[in-house]
C-alpha cells in the first residue's frame, strides 16, 4: 500500500554558519499536519526538535528527509504565537528556528511523544482544580479616582497604555483590578517584571488576591522541570495568570486577555545574549497582534515610550499622587566639595550631616537605605609605592577587592585570587583599597554608628537560595536599622519603615560616553527615592540625600522637583539635535577574536561590502571601535555602530547585509563570534 507523502516546512535550530534561517522542507506521512505542531526531524547526523511552520507556495525539492515523530499529545502552538516569533526573528535578525526553539522550555525539546503524554497526564493528576469559582469579587483597598479611571480605560479598548504613576501611587492595584476584569471574561493574564528578585513579592500579592486562580511563574530561576510544568499549564490554558521576566513574553497563552510590563523602563527587559530582543517592545507588538490591552507601568518611563505618548501612539494614564495622601520625599543635595579633601584615601564615605540624619532615624525606630551601585569592598587595590593596581590578567578591567574572603575577583570573567601579602611588582607591603563598594560602606557605617543593625543586600550576599527573601523579611520585620545595597534594593520594594534614602556616589554616570547613562541614572535615583516615605504617616519627614560633586547639574535640579517631564523634555531635545533614539534607529555589529586587529579587520570588511548601499539609503556606518571593556576572558571585542534615520531603512540594509557575514567570516579565520544587536541599550 502506497503512503502519500506531504511536504511540510519545519523550523529547526540550524548552525549559524550555515546561514539557513528559514524553515526547512521535510516529508510527512501525517495528513494535514497543522502549523505549530511539535515534531522531531533529522538534521545532518542528528535528530532535533522542530515546529511545523507555514510553507510558502512552490515546488518541493526531491528526496526530502522524513519527519521522524509527531508530538501529537501537545496542542499546536497558536497562530499569534508563531506571528510573534516570526516578527521577533526578522526584526532582531535571527534565524526563525533558532529563536522559536530557544524560547521553549529546554526540557520540552528533549521529550518524545510517549514521554510528553505521560508528563501531561501527570500534570492533570497533580494540579487540583481551583478552590474558588472564577469571577470571585476582589477584596482589596478601594481605588481612588485616578486608579478607577485607569482601570476603566484599560478595560474599554485594546491598545498600549502608559501607567505613569509616582512611586507609591498604587500602580499594582491597577494591575490587579485590570487582571480581575480579564479573568472574569475567561481570559489569561501575562505580567512581566524586569528582574527575578521582584518576582516573589509580586507573585505573593497576586496569589493572595486571586486565591482560587491558578498562577504560575516563568523565569530563569526555575528548575528545568518547574519551567516545563509552568509552561505547559499556560499552553494548555490551565494557568490563569503568568508572572515572569522577559522570557515570559514568549509564553504560549491561548486565551490571552491582558499584558502588563511593570517598570517598563528597566534595561533588564532587553536580552543581552543570543537573540537580543526587547521583551517590552515585543509585548506591545503581541498586544497589537492579539487585540488585547498592554499596560506599561513606570514612574520614569523610557524616553522611547514617552515620545510615543507625545506622538499619540500610546495613551498615558496618570497617577500623580501617592496612596493615602503621602508626599514624595524631600530631595537634599549635599555638595561634597564643602568637605576637606583627604589625600591618598577614598574620602569620607558619608558626610557628617548625613550620618547625623541616619542616627536620628535610628533613635525614632525608623530605617535608612544607603544606595551604592558597586559591590565588593573596593573597585581596585593599588600600591602606594609603585602604582601597581589589581588588574585582571584576562580582561581590560580591574579585579574588585572583596574583604570578606580576602579575594580579588573579576566581575567580568570570574577570575579570582587571594589578595597578595605584598605588591607583586615592588614588594611593598602597603597595598591599599582605592574607591568604595557596598562591603566597605557597610563596614564604615557600622563604625560611624556603633550598635546600629546594618545589613547589606547585593549579588554577593544573595547567592544562596532563599537568602534574598530572608534578608528582605528582616528589613520588613524592622530587624534592620540601615540597609546598604545596590540597585537590587532601589526599585520595586515596598519598605514601610524607611524614611531616609541616600545615594552615596552617583556622579560617574553624569559624564559617561553612553548617551543613555543620564536617563538610567535619573530613573534609578527616582526609584531609590521612592523607597522612602511609603507609609503616609511618615512621608512628611522622609528625605533623599544625594552626595554629589556636581550639585548644579540639570539632572539633579529635575530630581529635586521630582520632575520627570522636565528631565524628559531636556533629554529629548538633546536626542533630537544629535539624531539619536527615539528619533533614529541604531544597530551594533559586534565581533570577538583573540586579537583586536582581527575583529577590527572583519568589521571593516563587512562595512565595505555595503558602504555604497548604506549611503544611498541614508544609513551611516561608523568605524569599528572597542567597547568600554574591550577584553574579557582573553577575548578582544570590537563594535561598529550603524545609524539610520528610519527603522525601515535599517531593517532593509540588515536583511541583505547579514547573510553575507557568514561567507565573510570564513575569510577571517580568527573571528570567534559575531552578532548584531538591533536597538542596543549599551553603547
Are 535 and 623 in a shared domain? no
CATH number, domain containing residue 72: 3.40.1440.60
Model pLDDT, residue 494: 78
Residues 575-597 have pLDDT tens digits of: 999 999 999 999 999 999 999 99
Model pLDDT, residue 575: 96
Which domain-ending residue is among 434, 461, 476?
A: 434
Partner residues linked to 221 by β-bridges: none
Residues 321-341 have pLDDT tens digits of: 988 777 889 999 999 999 887
Please give the residue that has the higher pLDDT: either 462 or 519: 519
Model pLDDT, residue 154: 98
Q: Is residue 570 part of a domain?
A: yes
Model pLDDT, residue 663: 85
Task: Give the range among 296-305, 479-488, 638-647 with minimum mean pLDDT.
Answer: 479-488
CATH number, domain containing residue 287: 3.40.50.300
Which domain-ending residue is among 522, 548, 575?
A: 575
CA distance 445 to 442: 5
Residue 413 has pLDDT above 60, yes or no: yes
Residue 579: left (phi > 0), alpha (psi -120 to 50), or beta? left
Boundaries of domain holding 595: 585-678
Residue 4 has pLDDT above 90, yes or no: no
Are 626 and 487 in a shared domain? no
What sign has the CA pseudo-torsion 460, 513, 546, 449?
Answer: positive
Which domain-ending residue is among 45, 80, 105?
A: 105
Query: Is the bond preceding 582 in cis, omega lying within 30 degrees of 0?
Result: yes
Average pLDDT over residues 538-558: 92
Eight-class DSSP state of 668: -
Number of domain units in the chain: 5
Residues 90-110 have pLDDT tens digits of: 999 999 999 999 999 999 999
Q: Is residue 250 part of a domain?
A: yes
Please give the residue that has the higher pLDDT: either 77 or 345: 77
Query: Do 192 and 287 touch, CB atoms closer than 8 A?
Result: no
Return mean pLDDT, the chain. Answer: 91
Are 205 and 285 in a shared domain? yes
Residue 173's pLDDT band (boundaries 50, 70, 90)?
A: very high
Residue 346 has pLDDT above 70, yes or no: no
Q: Is residue 357 part of a domain?
A: yes
Q: Is residue 210 part of a domain?
A: yes
Q: Is residue 133 part of a domain?
A: no
Please give the residue that has the higher pLDDT: either 84 or 432: 84
Partner residues linked to 625 by β-bridges: 639
Q: Is residue 139 part of a domain?
A: no
CA distance 195 to 210: 22
Residue 451 has pLDDT above 50, yes or no: yes
Are 410 and 339 in a shared domain? no
Residue 130's pLDDT band (boundaries 50, 70, 90)?
A: low
The annotated binding site is made up of 383, 386, 392, 395, 410, 413, 423, 426
DSSP string computed for 544-564: EEEEES-TT-HHHHHHHTT-H
Residue 128's pLDDT band (boundaries 50, 70, 90)?
A: low
Cα 560 to Cα 265, 372, 543: the distances in Å are 20, 19, 11
Are 650 and 608 in a shared domain? yes
Give the predicted TM-score (pTM) of the model.
0.93
Are 247 and 285 in a shared domain? yes
The counts of H helices and E strands in the chain are 17, 28
Are 300 and 181 in a shared domain? yes
Q: Is residue 127 part of a domain?
A: no
Are 414 and 361 in a shared domain? no
Are 236 and 343 in a shared domain? no
C-alpha cell read off for 658: 547579514
Are 64 and 170 in a shared domain? no
Average pLDDT over residues 109-122: 92
The annotated binding site for Zn(2+) is made up of 383, 386, 392, 395, 410, 413, 423, 426
Average pLDDT over residues 432-452: 92
Are 399 and 459 in a shared domain? no
CATH number, domain containing residue 613: 3.30.70.100
3-state SS, one letter per residue, for 61-115: CCCCCECCEECCCCCCCCHHHHHHHHHHHHHCCCCHHHHHHHCCCCCHHHCCHHH
Task: Give the range among 346-350, 604-608, 661-665 with minimum mean pLDDT.
Answer: 346-350
Residues 176-210 have pLDDT tens digits of: 999 999 999 999 999 999 988 777 778 888 999 99
3-state SS, one letter per residue, for 9-61: EEECCCCHHHCCCCCEEEEECCCCCCCCCEEEEEECCEEEEEEEECCCCCCCC
Q: Is residue 336 part of a domain?
A: yes
Are 68 and 196 in a shared domain? no
For the chain, helix, strand, coil in percent to 5 are 35, 20, 40
Model pLDDT, residue 462: 84
Edge-to-edge strand ranges of the sheet holding 498-503? 330-335, 543-548, 498-503, 367-371, 482-485, 454-457
Amino acid at each position: 500500500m502506497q503512503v502519500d507523502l506531504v511536504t511540510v516546512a519545519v523550523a529547526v535550530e540550524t548552525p549559524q554558519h550555515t546561514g539557513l534561517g528559514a524553515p526547512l522542507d521535510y516529508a510527512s506521512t501525517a495528513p494535514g499536519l497543522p502549523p505549530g505542531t511539535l515534531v522531531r526531524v533529522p538534521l545532518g547526523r542528528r535528530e532535533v526538535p522542530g515546529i511545523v511552520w507555514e510553507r510558502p507556495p512552490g515546488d518541493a525539492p526531491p528526496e526530502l528527509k522524513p519527519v521522524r515523530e509527531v508530538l501529537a499529545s501537545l496542542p499546536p502552538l497558536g497562530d499569534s504565537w508563531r506571528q510573534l516569533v516570526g516578527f521577533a526573528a526578522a526584526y532582531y535578525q535571527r534565524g526563525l528556528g533558532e529563536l522559536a526553539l530557544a524560547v521553549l522550555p529546554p526540557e520540552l525539546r528533549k521529550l518524545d511523544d510517549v514521554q510528553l503524554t505521560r508528563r501531561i497526564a501527570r500534570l492533570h493528576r497533580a494540579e487540583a482544580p481551583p478552590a474558588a469559582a472564577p469571577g470571585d469579587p476582589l477584596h482589596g483597598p478601594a481605588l481612588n479616582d485616578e486608579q478607577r479611571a485607569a482601570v476603566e480605560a484599560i478595560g474599554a479598548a485594546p491598545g498600549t497604555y502608559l501607567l505613569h504613576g509616582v512611586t507609591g501611587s498604587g500602580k499594582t492595584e491597577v494591575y490587579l483590578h485590570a487582571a480581575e476584569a480579564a479573568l472574569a471574561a475567561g481570559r489569561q493574564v501575562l505580567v512581566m517584571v524586569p528582574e527575578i528578585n521582584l518576582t516573589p513579592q509580586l507573585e505573593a500579592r497576586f496569589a493572595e488576591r486571586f486565591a482560587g486562580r491558578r498562577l504560575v511563574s516563568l523565569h530563569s530561576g526555575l528548575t528545568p522541570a518547574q519551567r516545563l510544568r509552568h509552561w505547559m499549564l499556560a499552553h494548555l490554558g490551565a494557568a490563569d495568570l503568568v508572572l515572569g521576566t522577559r522570557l515570559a513574553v514568549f509564553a504560549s497563552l491561548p486565551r490571552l486577555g491582558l499584558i502588563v510590563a511593570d517598570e517598563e523602563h528597566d534595561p533588564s527587559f532587553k536580552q543581552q545574549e543570543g537573540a537580543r530582543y526587547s521583551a517590552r517592545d515585543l509585548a506591545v507588538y503581541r498586544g497589537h497582534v492579539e487585540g488585547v490591552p498592554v499596560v506599561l507601568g513606570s514612574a520614569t518611563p523610557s524616553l522611547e515610550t514617552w515620545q510615543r505618548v507625545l506622538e499619540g501612539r500610546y495613551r498615558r494614564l496618570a497617577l500623580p499622587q501617592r496612596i493615602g495622601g503621602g508626599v514624595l520625599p524631600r530631595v537634599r543635595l549635599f555638595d561634597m566639595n564643602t568637605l576637606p579633601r583627604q589625600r591618598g584615601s577614598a574620602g569620607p564615605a558619608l558626610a557628617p550631616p548625613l550620618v547625623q540624619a541616619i542616627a536620628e532615624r535610628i533613635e525614632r525606630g525608623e530605617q535608612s537605605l544607603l544606595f551604592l551601585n558597586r559591590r565588593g569592598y573596593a573597585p581596585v587595590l593599588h600600591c602606594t609605592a609603585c602604582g601597581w593596581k589589581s588588574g585582571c590578567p584576562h580582561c581590560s578591567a580591574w579585579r574588585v577587592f572583596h574583604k570578606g574572603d580576602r579575594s580579588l575577583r573579576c566581575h567580568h570573567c570570574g577570575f579570582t585570587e587571594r589578595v597578595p601579602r605584598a605588591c607583586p611588582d615592588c614588594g611593598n607591603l602597603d597595598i591599599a583599597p582605592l574607591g568604595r563598594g557596598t562591603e566597605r560602606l557597610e563596614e564604615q557605617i557600622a563604625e560611624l554608628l556603633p550598635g546600629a543593625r546594618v545589613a547589606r543586600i547585593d549579588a554577593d550576599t544573595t547567592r544562596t537560595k532563599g537568602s534574598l527573601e530572608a534578608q528582605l523579611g528582616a528589613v520588613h520585620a524592622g530587624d534592620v536599622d540601615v540597609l546598604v545595597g545596590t540597585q537590587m534594593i532601589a526599585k520595586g520594594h515596598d519598605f514601610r519603615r524607611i524614611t531616609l534614602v541616600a545615594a552615596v556616589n552617583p556622579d560617574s554616570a553624569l559624564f559617561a560616553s553612553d548617551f543613555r547613562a543620564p536617563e538610567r541614572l535619573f530613573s534609578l535615583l527616582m526609584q531609590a527615592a521612592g523607597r522612602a516615605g511609603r507609609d503616609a504617616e511618615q512621608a512628611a519627614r522622609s528625605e533623599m540625600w544625594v552626595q554629589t560633586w556636581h550639585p548644579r547639574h540639570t539632572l539633579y535640579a529635575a530630581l529635586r522637583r521630582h520632575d520627570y517631564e522636565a528631565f524628559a523634555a531636556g533629554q529629548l531635545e538633546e536626542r533630537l539635535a544629535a539624531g539619536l533614539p527615539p528619533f533614529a534607529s541604531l544597530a551594533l555589529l559586534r565581533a570577538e577574536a583573540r586579537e583586536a586587529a582581527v575583529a577590527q579587520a572583519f568589521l571593516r570588511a563587512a562595512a565595505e561590502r555595503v558602504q555604497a548601499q548604506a549611503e544611498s539609503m541614508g544609513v551611516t556606518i561608523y568605524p569599528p571601535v572597542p567597547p568600554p571593556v574591550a577584553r574579557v576572558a582573553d577575548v578582544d571585542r570590537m563594535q561598529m555602530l550603524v545609524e539610520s534615520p528610519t527603522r525601515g531603512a535599517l531593517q532593509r540594509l540588515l536583511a541583505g547585509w547579514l547573510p553575507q557575514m557568514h561567507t565573510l567570516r570564513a575569510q577571517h579565520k580568527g573571528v570567534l563570534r559575531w552578532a548584531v544587536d538591533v536597538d542596543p541599550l549599551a553603547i
